[in-house]
Amino acid sequence: DITFVTCTAPVNIAVIKYWGKRDNDLILPVNSSLSVTLHQDQLKSTTTVACSAHFKEDRIWLNGKEENINQPRLQSCLKEIRRLVRKRRSDGDTSTDVLSLSHKVHICSENNFPTAAGLASSAAGYACLVYTLSRLLGVEGELSAIARQGSGSACRSMYGGFVQWHMGMQADGKDSVAEQVEPESHWPELRILILVVSAERKPVGSTAGMQTSVETSSLLKHRAQAVVSTRMDEMILAIRQRDFSTFGELTMRDSNQFHAICLDTYPPIFYLNDVSRRIISLVHRYNHHYRETRVAYTFDAGPNAVIYTLQQHVSEFVQVVTHFFPPETNGGEFLKGLPVGSVSLSDELTRAIGLEPL
Ligand code: DP6
């Protein structure tokens, strides 16, 4: 008598970053953020949750290894979902009776990409966990507010396409929820490339890093009070109009401001390395050559570059990256799995970019 459900949830990549909490327990941010959710069959978490009267306790396995179930964030998500089940029952819904509240769950979750390498694994993981639990136990409601309590960025992976996480005003966090701005189909030419500079675990995790930033960075306060709100309006307009040039510039400026906050944190936090900075230069030189923003980078809490561009520029840009990061250099590794471009580069373009050799 085991009942189980399996679901997947993709990673999301923020173009307006979340960095800093006003409430550490409920995970309420100091500013709103906006991201793009990847396609379902790309970087994703897959979670199976089983439920049975025979299970003696809740248990969880991550990538095949059993982990401690008594982590506060995990417990918050389980508690909130069970609260919804109770609420449905008290509202007179009998369909959830099959799965008794006293039933324990076994959770099994896997990522198809490196965990904690700054690739937003917690976002896909918690979004997937909350969604799978909700399916198994037959509950509906504001699920993004529950995923948020697992990991802030997870609330945005509850929707596809372009997603805004409203910071909200309430102390109980009820209005700190994700909302879809546009579906994935709105901008079919948009592409995301991930340049895996390093798949190692990051030295300072985002949770600890942003807490130190909140305590010590005055730039973080300035950003929350005077930058994000206008930038958010501009970003949403750029997305609605499919204006890549504005979308790309805002994305790069926001990534740079986030890393400036990391440097303004005391002691400072460094997520970018020399390869990351070389990618930044390459992108600017490429765009400068065309006098147009064709490619944009963004970096999370790690050295890996996420590149936003449009379908028609993918082949050429991948060729450019291959040229300036040849496979024999340490950078060559990150091109694994990327489509190899079919265009050949003109000498004029490579000369114009003219990046110094590694
Ligand atoms: C740099 O969501 O991982 O990726 O809420 O503490 O779990 P917690 O942090 P997390 O932070 C993500 C930070 C970021 C920016 C972003 O995704 O918006």
User: CB-based contacts of 91: which residues, under 8 Å, 6+ apart?
Assistant: none
Mean pLDDT of 258-263: 98
Query: Which of 164, 27, 5, 167 is CA-nearest to residue 99?
Result: 5
Best substitution site from 15, 17, 18, 158 to test ligand 1's pocket, by max atoms within 8 Å of Cβ? 18
Q: Which atom of ligand 1 is nearest to the CA of 150?
A: 7
Q: CA–CA distance from 303 to each of 17, 88, 119, 276, 337 (Å)?
A: 15, 45, 10, 6, 18
How far is the centre of ligand 1, averaged over its atoms, from the C-alpha of 121 (Å)? Answer: 10
Best substitution site from 21, 153, 211, 231 to test ligand 1's pocket, by max atoms within 8 Å of Cβ? 153
Q: Provide residues with CB under 6 Å of ligand 1.
A: 14, 17-19, 27, 33, 120, 122-123, 151-153, 206-207, 300-301
Encode burial over 173-200: b for 16+ CB neighbours within 10 A, e otherwise. beebbbebbbebeebeebbbbbbbbbbe
How far is the centre of ligand 1, averaged over its atoms, from the C-alpha of 123 (Å)? Answer: 8
How far is the centre of ligand 1, averaged over its atoms, from the C-alpha of 148 (Å)? Answer: 10
Read off the tokens for 69.
Answer: 């179930």
Q: Is the Cα dihedral 223, 224, 225, 228 positive or negative?
A: positive
Using CA atoms, how far apart are residues 232 and 229, in angstroms rounded to an integer? 5
> Is residue 289 predicted with pLDDT exceeding 80?
yes
The CA angle 198-151-229, to the nearest 5 degrees, is 95
* Residue 99: pLDDT band with limits 50, 70, 90: low
Mean pLDDT of 278-282: 96
Closest protein CA for atom 4 of ligand 1? 300
Does the model's ipTM exceed the 0.85 cut? yes
Query: Which of 259, 336, 265, 340 is CA-nearest to residue 303?
Result: 259
> Is residue 339 predicted with pLDDT exceeding 70?
no
Best substitution site from 206, 276, 297 to test ligand 1's pocket, by max atoms within 8 Å of Cβ? 206
Q: Which atom of ligand 1 is nearest to the CA of 154?
A: 2
How far is the centre of ligand 1, averaged over its atoms, from the C-alpha of 199 (Å)? Answer: 17
Mean pLDDT of 70-78: 97
How far is the centre of ligand 1, averaged over its atoms, from the C-alpha of 206 (Å)? Answer: 6
Closest protein CA for atom 12 of ligand 1? 153
Query: What pLDDT does residue 116 have?
Result: 46
pLDDT digits (tens, 9 = 90+) for 183-206: 999 999 999 998 888 777 668 999
Helices 274-290 and 311-324, interaxial angle, to 10°? 130
Pairing of strands 59-62, 65-67: antiparallel
Q: Which atom of ligand 1 is nearest to the CA of 29?
A: 5
Specify the amino acid at residue 122: S
How far is the centre of ligand 1, averaged over its atoms, from the C-alpha of 101 (Å)? Answer: 31
Using CA atoms, how far apart are residues 108 and 79, in angstroms rounded to an integer? 18
Choice between 343 and 104, residue whose per-residue pLDDT is larger: 104
User: CB-based contacts of 260: which residues, under 8 Å, 6+ apart?
Assistant: 219
Residues forming a β-bridge with 21 = 29
Q: Are 33 and 14 in contact (CB under 8 A)?
A: yes
The runs of H, that is alpha helices, within the chain are 72-90, 121-137, 143-148, 206-216, 218-226, 228-240, 244-264, 274-290, 311-324, 347-353
Could you give the strand order of the β-sheet that contains 33-37, starting from the edge strand earlier in sequence? Answer: 12-16, 33-37, 162-165, 178-182
Mean pLDDT of 32-54: 92
Closest protein CA for atom 1 of ligand 1? 300
Using CA atoms, how far apart are residues 288 and 292, in angstroms rounded to an integer? 7
Q: Which atom of ligand 1 is nearest to the CA of 73?
A: 7
pLDDT digits (tens, 9 = 90+) for 18-28: 999 999 999 99
Q: CA–CA distance from 104 to each of 36, 56, 59, 139, 202 (Å)?
A: 34, 7, 8, 16, 33
Using CA atoms, how far apart are residues 181 and 161, in angstroms rounded to an integer? 8
